Amino acid sequence: MLTNYIFIPIAAAFIAYILNKRNRKAGAVITALVSAYLLLSLTALYGRWDITQSFNLSLMGYKIDFLLAVNPLSWLFAVMTAAISILIALFSINSQENFKFSSVFNLNFLIIIGSMIGIVFARDFLTLFIFWELMTWTSFYLISAGKKKMAGRAAYRYIILSAGAAYAFLMAAIFIFQQTGSFAFDSAAEFLVANSPAQSIMLLLVISLPFIVKAGIFPLHIWVKDAHGNAPKEFSPFLSGMMLKIGIYGMIVVFYQLSFFKIIENTIAYRGLPLLSYLFALLGAVTIITGTILAIRQEDMKKLVAYSSISQMGYIIIGIAIATPLGFSGSMLHLMNHLIFKSTIFLALAAVIYRTGTTKMYEMGGLIFRMPLTFAAYLTAIIALAGIPPTNGFISKWVIYQALIEKGYLFLAIAAFFGSIASFMYVFKPLSTVFLGQLKPQHQNIKEVPLLMKIPMLILILVIVLFGVFPGIQMNIINQISGYLGIETVNYTLYSIQGANGAWNSLLIFNIFSAGFIIALLLFSFAKKSKLVGLLDTYSSGEYITDAESYHYAYQYYRPFDRLFDNLAAKSLTDFYETLTKNLVRSGEGLRRALAAGKLQNYALYSVLLFVILAAVGWII
Amino acid sequence: MIDIIYRIGHFVLITVFSMALGLLFMGIARKIVARIQKRYGPPVYQPYLDVLKLFGKDAITHGFIFDFGAIMALGGVIATLFFIPLGSWQLYSMEGTVILVIYLLAIASLGMAMGTVGSGNPQASVGISRALMQMLGYELPYLVILFALIYRYQTSSVWGLMQAQAGSFLNWNLFAYPLMAAVAFVVLIGMMGKKPFDSMIAPSEIGSGPVVESGGKYLGMLLLQKSITIIIELALYVNLFLGGAENILIFTFKMLIVWVLATMFGSLFPRFRIEDGIKFFWKWPLGIAILQAIYIIT
Amino acid sequence: MRNEKDLLQLMNAHFEPLKLEIKRKQNVSVEFKKEELIQALSFLKSHSYRHLSTISCVDWPEEGEFELVYHLFSYDDLINISLKTRIKRDPGIFQTAKEIWPVAEFYERDIHDFFGVKFKGNDNLEELILENWQEIPPMRKDFDTRKFVNDKYEWRDYNGQKHTD
Amino acid sequence: MNNNFVKGSWQEILDWAQNKSINMLHYCTGCGAIELPPTMTSRYDMSRFGIGPAATPRQADLLLVTGYLSTKTLRRLIYTYEQMQAPKFVVGFGSCTINGGMYWDSYNTIKQLDKYLPVEMYIAGCMPRPEAILDGLLKLKKMIADGEADGYQRYQDNLEYYHQNQEAVLGEVQRTQ
């Protein structure tokens, strides 16, 4: 039964909360067990795309249906949620020993898992909304549980944006309900196609608002950095890997299942693409560029990776918005791969934070000799993120490039290229300043993290390489999704993908890369053996170094580049929103003084007036 | 079995040939620069002696990441080499798309960056940070050019792009799209780190940047890596804009011409500051490349 | 803009210099009592002599005195002025000018290196130029360089003939 | 073919390559810094003999000490020398490195470089002209080719002696780890 997947985690959440009060590790163990159960039973569900479940509720004369169903798309998202939860739970068994709010963490985390599965299985607006709100509020508590001073403020920014968007969504849903008498997606889609295009487009744009916020797309991305930077270190991988993706899920639902693309099919087009889709793609492009430029500037590693998440979301949006088979497949590939490598990055950084207790990059250095496995995990993940073959990150970006070049979308392609090359810069910054360079004296005695924290990282490394060599595994499910949504499929085999103007064969590339590596290794090992010297014995213009701290280049790593964008970055969007709020409050204050002047009767009068106006509007519509 | 031996022989042959040719080109470049400066210059075979000497010297290492970086740098370029058609020699050039080649080259850069920063020398870090910033400068126009070419010929393999220019030499992209060829030439100079764009290896400023700690065999391997990188970049240019070649001799000749011209241009200019270099790349080459791309896609 | 004579008048009006002298064009030398010198420095700094070029020191062993010379320059008047004062050689202690010009700290370290003069108020008088110096400061006139060199370094032997002979 | 023979001839090949390709680190302490640019640039062009500059001691084979050495500088010079990789050679420039030169009675300059570092050869003069420098470096090339330039081995063999001399003038000496 589908409800099991939703309510078992939610029920387990309270058990975990109670047990965790007794034993710090119990909550995380329960989380891991529940997610393992979810993963196993979801795997058993594979291929059974006909399971549905529904409940009826009569309320004030309205008959409301709650519909749940499985399809390849929901299945993929549910499996991804369960899989990443296992790894995070395993990781947090040890890492939460000293975390004050660990019981609250596990409570909320399990509820989020349940509600996310609820979201992806939901087939009507009301179910979606209920679980969406559950997820939003629980994640709000998780983000504000971070120890930082700013955590509360970041969480408020997140909740205000999310809640505002969600209520707009609810309004649109209720409007559709009034017209059709049902919250179900199917009937809504029928109604929207039949309705006047202008109104349908407006409704769908409003419906997609909460998803845009959650995915961190350009004008509404301001919550991402602070929320990621301040969330508990174990929650960041989930926040960045899964919760951003759930926004993408929502957008796919809007685009395909609510037939947004069908409605705008015959509107004005640019290069064969409806202008509205192109605008969405352009939003993705702007997201890539802003995310990238801001990521390069960060000195806090979690914020840096958060901005990089924003920029990677841009790729996914571009691929979905241009709606070609290659674009969609590339997006879905990138979505999965981004989950994998971004979780790896966040887990590796969480391991570093666990040992050093800081997130400022310039306070660290040379950790590679103390934490080699963490370094290996980070290195593999950034190779994937930067899109360097033979890892999974390259494949998905390559497919997206193919899609863009096929149609000749020049400006989208420039943004994609920019984000890809600039990602070398921002991923190299933590590599260089945290893991390489001089080891700080206060970190001399750091040890590698315990075994239970190593296992998730190891698994993720293997998965990155596995999907890098055999993208066919992913393409299998993606083609099922494409088929389900009515998109043409892409030709693939286990280790190759057919693009628009060229093919990608990852096994071959993996082999040739190994060959090149072996030739270099042979050359290296035949030459004279070298002598190992310490890190402080480096060229320093003849002067001998005594303290490592002053011989580490870490602060403002890309200053010359940042200087190019100083003016732009000074005008941050956050400031813009804050000024806007301030002005709104001020004008509201002025209005109040002019109209109400503190008399209670006036307020009553205005309320009645407003009600009448609303009623009139509702009647007219 | 024989097939495997044949293939391995091919691997080794191409690797050795490119190393030798790259070192020869480096020697020629030193001679040209010397002649421009009214010097006699070192003998053409000087780089061979340098490499031989470096492999005979003692060396120090700063731990396994230092070793791994050097191996990854050389291995990355050798792997890239097999995807490029060199005249009639082409191992896997059918499969290798041109975007793949650009990104494979990044493996080598990443390896070198990792190894040298792993030495713990801040001058290496400064050099690498400059190199990465500059890379963002020149790769953007280059990728726009590739975008336009792939869109124009509807194939993304280097081999296909080369074949598309077959026939008369007027089909060469150099004559078909001269603006694009010029932009690519400027980018080529930037890629090879020649004079106006060499702030990342400024010897008297940051102690030769990325290679500051490399001596002995490490420097030797990086020299070999550099030589193969030169061949890859020149071969890409020749394949994309000069129509490739029938056999390896003509191909080498075309590469030599491009190399000599690039060296001559390089020896005329003083050095750009980093942000000025990026600004330059984003102003002129990128602007021209976008104009040309718009012309092609419409 | 003052000329040299105006400057001397200004000095005479506010202080009691022991000796005033115009060495040549744009170059003035004034000798003060040691009590007045720091005061004169800050006075001159507020009268456009903002640039402290250096502080130098002369050893007068016969008189048992060190002579400290502060070289100032004005970008308005275009005049170099040297303020001199003499302190007793034996304790060899003077006031610091660090509060007026922070850079004076380094000049004072330099003088402490080579003459052993101490500056009250400047507690960072560790070695600036010399390293591990154990002898009396090398620029004092009673430091016998020749003997020190003969003791410390070995001369090259040119067939039995030493370099110094 | 016995192993020694192979090893011997391999060493000869390396010596030959070494003599044709020398990267020098010019430690410019004195006026020698002025004599080197003409030697390197178009008038005299030392690069035609395969001699070129190196940026750091790791890449260098030859340490040129171009002028007087104060004790403070000597400490850094020793550190730099130890950072270089064998085979490595030291050449002293001008009278200052030979016997103190015009700084013969300075309390703070060393008088004989070869007591502290294994000098292959001196180039006399105050300063030596570029012709003299080139002549000296050519002789050094010949020494390397013949296997006579073995300073780094002498340094290893007489480590005690050199360290004693160094510590006599410098006190404690910071060495590479």
The string of pLDDT tens digits covering residues A196-233 is: 888 888 888 888 888 888 888 877 777 777 777 777 88
Whole-angstrom distance, CA of residue D50 vs CA of residue D22: 6
Which is nearest to D94 in space by CA: D70, D118, D122, D120?
D122
Q: Given a cut of 80, is residue C68 above it in pLDDT?
A: yes
pLDDT value at residue C54: 92
The string of pLDDT tens digits covering residues A99-124 is: 777 778 888 888 888 898 888 888 88
Q: Given a cut of 80, is residue B187 above it in pLDDT?
A: yes
Q: In which residue are the tokens 């003997």 written?
A: C147
Which residues between 123 and 162 in chain D have a beta carbon less than 8 angstroms from any beta carbon of chain B? Answer: none
Whole-angstrom distance, CA of residue A287 vs CA of residue A281: 10
Q: Where are the domains of chain D?
A: 27-100+138-170
CB neighbours (10 Å) of residue A96? Answer: 24
Q: Given a cut of 90, is residue B24 above it in pLDDT?
A: yes
Asked if A347 and A381 touch (Cβ cutoff 8 Å), the reply is no
Band (pLDDT 50/70/90 cuts) for residue D4 is low
Asked if B125 and A432 touch (Cβ cutoff 8 Å), the reply is yes
The residue type of A409 is Y
Q: Given a cut of 80, is residue A298 above it in pLDDT?
A: yes
Contact flag D106-C149 (C-beta cutoff 8 Å):
yes
- Give the rounded percent of residues in chain A with a pLDDT score beyond 90: 4
Average pLDDT, chain B: 87
pLDDT value at residue C149: 87
Q: Which of A533, A539, A544 sits opposite D174 (nearest CB)?
A: A544
pTM over 0.90: no
Long-range contacts of D14-17 (CB under 8 A, 24+ apart): D14/B52, D14/B53, D14/B56, D15/D144, D15/D145, D15/D146, D15/D147, D16/D145, D17/B49, D17/B52, D17/B53, D17/B56
3-class secondary-structure state, position C82: strand
Distance to chain C for D99, nearest Cα, Å: 6
Whole-angstrom distance, CA of residue A175 vs CA of residue D121: 95
Q: Given a cut of 90, is residue B27 above it in pLDDT?
A: yes
Q: Quick one: average pLDDT of A308-337? A: 88
Tokens representing B177? 């799209």
Q: Quick one: average pLDDT of A268-284? A: 83
Band (pLDDT 50/70/90 cuts) for residue A619 is low
Q: In which residue are the tokens 């709010």 written?
A: A101
Please list the alpha-helical segments (H only) found in A470-599: 472-485, 506-526, 559-564, 566-570, 573-595
Q: How far is CA C165 from the centre of its chain?
A: 35
Q: Given a cut of 70, is residue C163 above it in pLDDT?
A: no
Whether chain B has a CB inside 8 Å of the CB on D61: the answer is: yes
Which is nearest to A293 in space by CA: A554, A552, A579, A573?
A573
Tokens representing A349? 């950084």
* ipTM of the complex, rounded to two decimals: 0.84
Q: Given a cut of 70, is residue A245 above it in pLDDT?
A: yes
Which residues between 29 and 68 in chain D have a beta carbon less than 8 angstroms from any beta carbon of chain A? Answer: 56-58
Strand partners of residue A300 = A360
Contact flag A539-D58 (C-beta cutoff 8 Å):
yes
Whole-angstrom distance, CA of residue D167 vs CA of residue D160: 10
pLDDT value at residue B29: 92
C4-154: CATH topology: Beta Polymerase; domain 2 (3.30.460)
H/E stretch holding D73 reads: helix D71-83
Residue C131 is given by DSSP the state S
C28-43: b (≥16 Cβ within 10 Å) or e: bbbbbeeebbbebbee
Kindly list the distances between the CA atom of residue A419 and the CA atoms of A109, A284, A291, A324, D153, in Å, as whole numbers in the listed order.
32, 11, 8, 21, 54
pLDDT value at residue D139: 92
Distance to chain A for B36, nearest Cα, Å: 31
Asked if C97 and C52 touch (Cβ cutoff 8 Å), the reply is yes
Q: Which CATH architecture has domain D27-100+138-170?
A: 3-Layer(aba) Sandwich (3.40)
pLDDT value at residue A377: 92
Whole-angstrom distance, CA of residue B166 vs CA of residue A587: 70
In chain C, % helix, strand, coil (3-state, to 5) comes to 25, 30, 45
Please list the alpha-helical segments (H only) found in A23-124: 26-44, 72-95, 102-121
Whole-angstrom distance, CA of residue A117 vs CA of residue A79: 9
Whole-angstrom distance, CA of residue A434 vs CA of residue A484: 45
Sign of the alpha-carbon torsion through B116, B121, B124, B126: positive
Kindly list the distances between the CA atom of residue C4 and the CA atoms of A441, C19, C74, in Å, as whole numbers in the listed order.
58, 15, 12
Bond before A210 cis per omega within 30 degrees: no
Q: In which residue are the tokens 């395909």 written?
A: A256
The string of pLDDT tens digits covering residues D16-54 is: 888 889 998 888 887 878 888 888 888 888 888 889 888
Which is nearest to B115 in space by CA: B56, B75, B57?
B75
Q: Which residues contact A37 (CB under 8 A, 6 or more apart)?
A: A8
Q: What is the largest CA-CA distance in chain D?
A: 59
Strand partners of residue A65 = A56
Contact flag B147-A553 (C-beta cutoff 8 Å):
no
Q: Given a cut of 50, is residue A16 above it in pLDDT?
A: yes
B-chain residue closest to D48, CA distance:
B42
H/E stretch holding D142 reads: helix D130-145
Average pLDDT, chain A: 83
Contact flag D111-C146 (C-beta cutoff 8 Å):
no
Whole-angstrom distance, CA of residue B135 vs CA of residue B141: 11
Q: Given a cut of 60, is residue C164 above it in pLDDT?
A: no
Contact flag A368-B65 (C-beta cutoff 8 Å):
yes
Tokens representing D59? 């890449």
Q: Quick one: average pLDDT of A583-606? A: 67
Which is nearest to A502 in space by CA: B151, B268, B222?
B151
Number of H helices and E strands in chain C, helices first, is 4, 9
Tokens representing D76? 């850094």
Residue of D97, D108, D172 best to disrupt the C interface, most CBs of C under 10 A: D108
CB contacts < 8 A, B to D, total: 79
Going by DSSP bridges, is the β-strand pair C51-60/C27-31 parallel, antiparallel, or unpaired?
unpaired
Phi, psi of A488 (to 5 degrees): -65, 150
Strand partners of residue C65 = C60, C88
Q: Given a cut of 70, is residue C153 above it in pLDDT?
A: yes
| Stated length of chain A | 621
Asked if D86 and B57 touch (Cβ cutoff 8 Å), the reply is yes
Q: In which residue are the tokens 């691929």 written?
A: A319
Asked if A234 and A95 touch (Cβ cutoff 8 Å), the reply is yes
Strand partners of residue B89 = B86
Which residues between 3 and 32 in chain D have a beta carbon less than 8 angstroms from any beta carbon of chain A? Answer: 27
Whether chain A has a CB inside 8 Å of the CB on B101: the answer is: no
Band (pLDDT 50/70/90 cuts) for residue D1 is very low
Average pLDDT, chain C: 87
Tokens representing D79? 């550190």
Contact flag B215-D21 (C-beta cutoff 8 Å):
no
Band (pLDDT 50/70/90 cuts) for residue B22 is very high
Kindly list the distances between the CA atom of residue D40 and the CA atoms of B37, B38, D26, D44, D51, in Å, as whole numbers in the listed order.
11, 12, 12, 6, 9
Whole-angstrom distance, CA of residue D62 vs CA of residue B217: 17
Q: Quick one: average pLDDT of B86-92? A: 74
pLDDT value at residue A462: 92
Q: Given a cut of 80, is residue B38 above it in pLDDT?
A: yes
pLDDT value at residue A549: 79
Which domain range does residue B216 map to?
A: 2-297
pLDDT value at residue A154: 67
Average pLDDT, chain D: 86
Q: In which residue are the tokens 């000293």 written?
A: A98
The residue type of B61 is T
* From A409-418, D5-14, D159-168, the region with the lowest mean pLDDT: D5-14
Whole-angstrom distance, CA of residue A205 vs CA of residue A552: 49
D-chain residue closest to A546, CA distance:
D174
pLDDT value at residue A148: 58
Number of structural domains found in chain B = 1
pLDDT value at residue A606: 67
pLDDT value at residue D118: 92
Bond before D127 cis per omega within 30 degrees: yes
Tokens representing B106? 């990044």
Rounded-to-10 torsion of CA B210, B145, B227, A535: 20
Q: Which of D56, D77, D174 sits opposite A539 (nearest CB)?
A: D56
Q: Quick one: average pLDDT of A566-578? A: 72
Contact flag C156-D99 (C-beta cutoff 8 Å):
yes
Q: Quick one: average pLDDT of D101-105? A: 84
Give the sheet arrangement for strand D89-93, strand by strand.
Answer: D51-53, D22-27, D62-65, D89-93, D121-123
Q: Which of D75, D111, D170 sits opposite C153 (nearest CB)?
A: D111
Whether chain D has a CB inside 8 Å of the CB on C62: the answer is: no
Contact flag D99-C154 (C-beta cutoff 8 Å):
no
Q: Given a cut of 60, is residue C165 above it in pLDDT?
A: no
